[in-house]
Structure 1
Amino acid sequence: MARYDILYFAWLRERIATPREQVESAAVTVADLVAELRARSPRHAAAFADLAAVRVALDQDLVGMDAPLAGGREIAFFPPMTGG
C-alpha cells in the first residue's frame, strides 16, 4: 500500500466537496486509483463519471489514465485546460 496526496481542481473539487485528501491504495495505475475513488462515495462517482473530461498530473507531470503510480506521491485531477 502506498499513500497518495490527491488534489482536486475546479468542478471536480466542487463535486467531491474537498480540495484534497490523503488516500492509501494498492492501485497500480491511475485508472485503478480512479476506480477506487469512484467507490468511496456518490460524490466521487459523480466527479469521475466522464473520464474524457478529466485530466491528471502525477507529481506535477501530465500523464494518462494508464500511467503507473509507482514512485508517485501527488496526484492532481482537473478538467481540460483551454487556451486564451
Structure 2
Amino acid sequence: MIDILFFAELQEATGSEQVSVEADGLSVNELKTKLLSSYKLDNLDHAMIAVNEEYSREDTVLKSGDVVAFIPPVSGG
C-alpha cells in the first residue's frame, strides 16, 4: 500500500487529507492517472510531488510503504 497525502484544494476535492492505495511498482505518473480516474483533481498536474518527504519526479517508481504528497501551487497576497 502507498499512502497519499493531499493538501489545500486537493484535500477538499478528495474529502480527505490521506488515502491509501495499491500502487506498488507504479510510477508517480501512473499513480496520478489512477487518482484522476477516481477523483476530480483539476490541479493535480500542477502540484509538486514528494515521495518519502523528498521532492520527486513523475518517473519515480513507488514501492509498498512509500508516502506520496501532492502539494498544489500556493497563491495569495
Q: TM-score, normalised by structure 1?
A: 0.74
User: Structure 2 vs 1, CA of residues 24 and 36 (structure 1 numbering), >3 Å: closer, same or farther?
Assistant: same
Q: What is residue 37 of structure 1 aligned with on the other side?
A: 35
**SS of the residue aligned with 2:21?**
strand
Q: Which runs of 5+ in 2 are unaligned?
A: none
Q: Which runs of 5+ in 1 are unaligned?
A: none
2:37 maps to amino acid:
A
Q: Deviations over 1:26-45 (max 9, x none)?
A: 452100011111112xxx2x
Q: What is residue 23 of structure 1 aligned with on the other side?
A: 21
CA RMSD for the aligned pairs? Answer: 2.3
Q: What is residue 47 of structure 1 aligned with on the other side?
A: 41
Q: TM-score, normalised by structure 2?
A: 0.80
Higher relative contact order (CA 8 A, sep 6+): 2
Shift of 1:66: 1.8
4+ long deviations beyond 2 Å? 25-28
Matches within 5 A, 1:56-71: 56-70=49-63
Structure 1 window deviating more from structure 2 (22-31 vs 5-14): it is: 22-31
Query: How many residues align structurally?
Result: 76
Shift of 1:25: 2.2
Q: Deviations over 1:28-77 (max 9, x none)?
A: 2100011111112xxx2x215551x2111000000111222146610011
Q: What's the % identity of the aligned pairs?
A: 27
